[in-house]
Amino acid sequence: MPTGSLQDARRAVVTDRVLAGVAALLADGRVLTYANVAAAAEVPERTVYRHFPTRHDLMAAVVDWVNQRAGVQRATTGEQATENVRHVFTTFDEVAPVMRELMLAPEGLAARLENNDDRRAAALAIVDNDAPGLDDPTRRRTAAVVQLLTSAATWQTLRDYWDMDGTEAADTAAVALAMLLDGARHEATKTQLREGPRRRRPRTRSPRGDSR
């Protein structure tokens, strides 16, 4: 095995160990500090710093770890988004203490925002596929709600305020998503009927009397 590949493999092993330590200490209700992470992962604290020099680096790695565990896929249709939510929300239940830290910690928010452009693009793609023809402001607002309904924030809110587990939260989000896109399709149809077919430009006549 080439040296580079061996180093990458070792780094991956240590990274997995550190992230498992993060999950373990948060599940125990302990504070997320480098010292606590090192103790939970059973590695020297300097090792944690070497792999994750800042808390932002650590939280970004935690976000990736959760996404990989949940098998997050990019959806381009409402049906795909619903399938994602059903799988992802139940996975969030399995790592609920980690998700809470990601939702509450400032570094967690910053880490989650790193892929926000991709998430916005995915939400817009869903709207364009399921409700084509919306005017730009309505398209943007509908996509914003699509992103919200498929986000960890919705899972967390339904868990905290309605005592829902991931399955029920996913069912709730799926119903809301279907109603949203049905309403968007209806709005797109009204817009198209209101605007009607575009007028064709009148054909002009040349001085010789033929049409151009």
Determine the longest span between alpha carbons in the chain, in angstroms. Answer: 92
- Read off the pLDDT of each residue in 57-65 and give the average, rounded to a whole number: 91
Q: Which two tokens stand for residue 38?
A: 């090192």
Distance, CA of 56 to CA of 106 (rounded, Å): 9
Q: Which two tokens stand for residue 83?
A: 């399938």
Amino acid at site 158: L
Give the pLDDT of residue 71.
Answer: 80
> How does pLDDT run across 153-208, given as a tens digit for each residue?
999 999 999 999 999 999 999 999 999 999 999 999 987 777 765 444 344 343 34
Three-state DSSP at 45 gives helix
Distance, CA of 100 to CA of 136 (rounded, Å): 34
Three-state DSSP at 205 gives strand
Alpha helices in the chain (DSSP H): 3-27, 34-41, 45-51, 55-70, 78-94, 96-104, 106-113, 116-130, 136-149, 152-162, 166-195
Residue 172, CB-side half-sphere exposure with 13 Å CA sphere: 19
User: Cα 154 from chain centroid?
Assistant: 11
Residue 101 has pLDDT above 50, yes or no: yes
Which of the four pLDDT bands, split at 50, 70 and 90, describes residue 4?
Answer: low
Distance, CA of 205 to CA of 212 (rounded, Å): 6
Distance, CA of 168 to CA of 158 (rounded, Å): 9
Which of the four pLDDT bands, split at 50, 70 and 90, describes residue 3?
Answer: low
Closest C-alpha among 58, 73, 16, 60 to residue 41: 16
